[in-house]
Structure 1
Amino acid sequence: MKSMTLKTFKTFVSGAIFGLGAALVAMPAQAEEFTYQPPGQLVDGSGTGRVDYTVHVPGMRFPIEQAPAYPNSQVWGHGGMNGPGGGQCDPGNYSYPWWDNYCETRSWDMPLCPGGQGHQGQDIRAATCDNKTHWTVAAEAGTITNVGTYSVYLMTADGTLHRYLHMDPATLAVSTGDTVAAGDRLGLVSNAFGGTPTTIHLHYDIRRNVSPHGQVYIPAYMSLVTSYQELIGQPAEPCGLIGAEGGVIDNDDACFQLLGNAGTWRTEEVGHGGSLNWTYAWDSPDPDGYARWSLHVEEPGDYELEVYIEPTIASSARARYSLFADGQQHDLRLDQGAASGWTSLGTFRLSGESGERLEIYDNSGEAFADRLQFVADALRLTRQGVEEPEVDAGETDADQPDAGQSDAGQGDGGSGDSDAGAQPDAGAQPDAGDGSDERMLDENSCVGCSSTDAGGTSVLMLVVMVGLLARRRVLRTR
């Protein structure tokens, strides 16, 4: 083989590095997984949002032509007047998860917002911080009814008004009176604000007649979520699925959030899993702080809901919960001061639809001066009405599943802190010394059987039985 000179080697290495660099540039970037905060959860300190999971405009087109896009707060984001510092192009403004900012603190009259005032719609940053680069598009078919110095109004046949604000007026592709189809281009996202620049973003809102208020701005957030999922072909994953038999959502899980004035909550290193959150109860028409367990069940059914109460912390006698499930709202009360450990709220039907949740609020009606505390800790769901499979202690039935494969001792989804009184007694399970392996082996004695060649079948059956027995013993020792 011909020797490679130093010069040839350098040329080879340079070419290899260049080729690798070109390949990396050409390689598509790993797509970030789309996630979003729940509706009504605003950036801390920016007000009280409206919890509304309704998709008010199903089937609409997402109002920016191409993904990614990042709905979040302009005022409370980086570069905003009340933001944490930095500039508007900070990477934190251009990342998931999404944040709702409908009802964010503003001076506009908003009858659907908890405080009666707030932000009319949703601020959306396009894929990058570049000005006059990203197209907005019509969310639905309709007519352009107004074009202002930085706004476009799109009215649909049913009277729904879609508003687009802060597009550069020189880039508009429509005029008053034009008819458009869903997806038609309208203009480019910019910082136009009638001569006073704002941050580079699209303000998008929806106005519709709502009885008894008349024409009002309605929550657009979940309509944006579903239309974005359609745009990117990637449904947002729920925070976590509750299995068919139930499970536990602890206060450090993704399906648990502290909401409202989150600064009022304290954390203690006690309770289920070694931590819990608590705050003071008070008497007010509206909650200041509240907590939410989001419920995503794998199978619809009836579930008992139990909350874990730490008696050394909890003292509220009227802790106020609301369960939103199966299209209904259940308002519940619990004397936490008299409870200890797992405490049942009742059994309820869960449909598995989006938006099912349990919430606890600080406005229990108890005087703040009394300094009564309530806790938000773990929530346990246990499926009800599911019959346990019968274990055939007598004759073998080859058509029945192997009862030995189910562990009746697994009660609360592996939390490690289950209420032994509510769970099956693990002591009733057979151990290796009571012939259980022989019982399980007998229940599977026809695996691999054939109706012909009795001698060969016996040998094959023996091999299979030995294999199953060995496998059972390995599984039991893991």
Structure 2
Amino acid sequence: MKRILGTCGILALTLLATPASAEFTYKPPGELVPGSGQGRVDSKIYVPNMRFPIEQAPAYANSQVWGHGGYKGPGGGQCDTENYSYPWWDNYCESRSWDVPLCPSGNGHQGQDIRAATCEDNKHWAVAAEAGTITNIGTYSVYLQADNGTRHRYLHMDPASIPVSEGQRVAKGDRLGRVSNAFGGTPTTIHLHYDLHQNVSGIGNTYVPTYMSLVDSYERLLGIPQEPCEALGPDGGTLDDAGPCFELHGPPASWRYVTDAGHDGDLHWTKAWDDPDASNWAQWHVETSEAGTYEVEVYVVADYAQAQQARYVVRHAGNETEKRLDYTAGDGWRSLGEFDFAQGADQWVVNYDNTGESLDLDRRIIADAVRLTRIRPAQPEPDAGTTQPDAGNTVDAGQADTGSDVGSGTDSDQDGEEREQSTRATTTSSCSSTGESSPAGLMWLLVVLGFGWRRRLASK
């Protein structure tokens, strides 16, 4: 689980790595400093696997306006120790006049204020969160356009410290400038304002919540283990697009994120197309605690799923099976079929965008939730001592005609037939390995002896 500091107390951490990691806690997303506005409760990581935008830890995400030294703060100077301590506070949507459609009020702070390790001007480096191109450098701003379409904006760095130029390519982690208080001639507190700009379904290009992407990247900077994809229970379970077992692949700009529909209230979608290669795909990693036959279902919302031959591939027990699904046949939970899964990982469900349908048809594929329900347990391995007859161990043919004495009782009729034939083929032996005669063997022996006796009588 993520290390969230709730409103009722502090969850202390004692996890490895550095003193910073041992202390790191954060308030839930959307919980702002009291009196500073209404936040957006949104746990989505909008930029997975990004680099934390300040080069070294510790760093402290909180409000520079409602913190010490801010014009709406509780008093004291900006270097107050409370500004340089955990927990972190979200301040996306904090009361401001900027137009931010995803905020509850429709306007607010576009991103997150972050203080570096110490209250020292022009010392701590800000770095590129992703690889991309520098598209603009203003009087106190640097714009980084990532290759996937996300725009990263950095404000208040010392202009003289900026080593990059417009049009320059940068790699993840490259230095962009040092944290300062530059603000176009009007100084602010020493901090980095950082925000993300993406294409959101129904809105277009806009500022998206930054907080949980920062939490995720900061934990990796500290060396804190990330939330694992855990094994499903014996009866199966649900893998949602907001969980740790879900991954989006391909250009993020091609995916749209919806926060008012779908299983558990959110979903992703992108357009289907007819290219031979997939451009975007969604993957649900599956780890089962017990082997068995599972029904696999996907959650469909009609407004965001119109493909008539959505292409899914299920990897199960070392096999890969492709399935096609017509979304228009109904929404809600839709079955892909039943599959035999092994115990453990290296199994998954993938939804590809190359369905074979033309882009001109404007059909969408959906990536929301996948559900596995165990239909029956795995068939146990046969016991060699009792269920595999051989020439030295006679089996009564009358006990082998249904397959009920071999296996788990869930076998198909064909499997039972094959066992019956192989079992009866061994009944020609008249003696068991212990030297004891079976009833069927004695009968055949008596027939043979009787035939021989009659021949002897006839020869006399």
- Interval of TM-score (by shorter of Structure 1 and Structure 2): 0.3 to 0.5
Name which one, 1 or 2, has greater alpha-carbon Rg.
2
Normalising by structure 2, we get a TM-score of 0.46
Normalising by structure 1, we get a TM-score of 0.44
